[in-house]
A and B are shown apart, each in its own frame.
Chain A
Amino acid sequence: AQKITQTQPGMFVQEKEAVTLDCTYDTSDPSYGLFWYKQPSSGEMIFLIYQGSYDQQNATEGRYSLNFQKARKSANLVISASQLGDSAMYFCAMRVLTGGGNKLTFGTGTQLKVEL
């Protein structure tokens, strides 16, 4: 069975600062993908970034980067130069790629609040 753990229910960061949202995962499958989603107060789910288990380099997408530490089974999201619009709930998710179907397993989320 797969499991995603997000231990920070809430985080605060000042505008223009960087923030790291923690995510650890558990799977015995060697092939998997890790995802981060943003859910603003309006409720939609917005895909941010993807990291494959065999990717050699950490994924980056604009101000988002994924700090992938395979041996520690962690996939932390780093947001650089935080903006007020980054205030939202952030979910880490995993998909097992071999025999695991196509479903995503989500963590419980981290509520990020960006302050002036």
Chain B
Amino acid sequence: NAGVMQNPRHLVRRRGQEARLRCSPMKGHSHVYWYRQLPEEGLKFMVYLQKENIIDESGMPKERFSAEFPKEGPSILRIQQVVRGDSAAYFCASSPQGRADYGYTFGSGTRLTVV
């Protein structure tokens, strides 16, 4: 019964490259969330997705960032033309449908370093 799987754990990109972060939710979970944690800060909400639908992207930067959760396969957070300020830990979480009291299950995160 695997938890939320994120890969890669660490990702190094040069400025201007693209970063792709993957997240496979827990089995039976249909809701996926992405959060970003800058150094010395708490987690900030980015986007909430269900299969083939973006439900809430109010925390996503307007440019360069996109997310998807296709019918088959993992959820992908894509950052185009990365800049140094994108260096952070990116966490994915999942929850079952309709469980408002559920504390999410978080993945171990992807640490993105832009050099």
Interface residues of A (CB under 8 A from B): 4, 33, 35, 37, 42-47, 50, 52, 91, 93, 95, 97, 101-109
Q: State in angstroms the CA–CA spacing of A107 and B44 once bound together.
A: 9
- CB–CB A47/B42 < 8 A: no
Q: Which 3 A-B pairs have the closest CB atoms?
A: A106-B42, A47-B103, A45-B106
Residue in chain B with minimal CB distance to A51: B101
Contact A50 B109 (CB under 8 A): no
Within 8 A of A (CB), among B99-115: 100-101, 103-109, 111
Interface positions of B from 51 to 96, Cβ below 8 Å from A: 55-56, 58-59, 89, 91, 93, 95
Does more than half of chain B's interface fall in helix, strand or loop, or is it mixed?
Answer: strand
* Least distance between A42 CB and chain B CB atoms (Å): 8
Q: A43-B89, A44-B109, A45-B106 are in contact. Are A104 and B101 (CB under 8 A)?
A: no
How many contacts A-B (CB < 8 Å)?
65
- Chain B residues with CB under 8 Å of A4's CB are 42
CB nearest to B45 among chain A residues: A103
Given A43-B109, A47-B103, A95-B100: A101 touches B56 (CB 8 Å cut-off): yes
* B43–A91 touching, CB < 8 Å: yes
Contact pick for B48, options A102, A107, A109, CB 8 Å: A102
Give the complex CA separation of A93 and B101 in angstroms: 12
Determine the chain B residues whose CB is within 8 A of the CB of A109 once the complex forms.
Answer: 41-42
Contact indicator A107/B111 (Cβ below 8 Å): no
A-B contacts, 23 of them at CB < 8 A, read: A33-B100, A35-B103, A37-B103, A37-B106, A45-B106, A45-B109, A47-B103, A47-B104, A52-B101, A97-B100, A101-B56, A101-B58, A102-B48, A102-B95, A102-B100, A103-B48, A103-B58, A104-B33, A104-B43, A104-B45, A106-B43, A107-B42, A109-B42
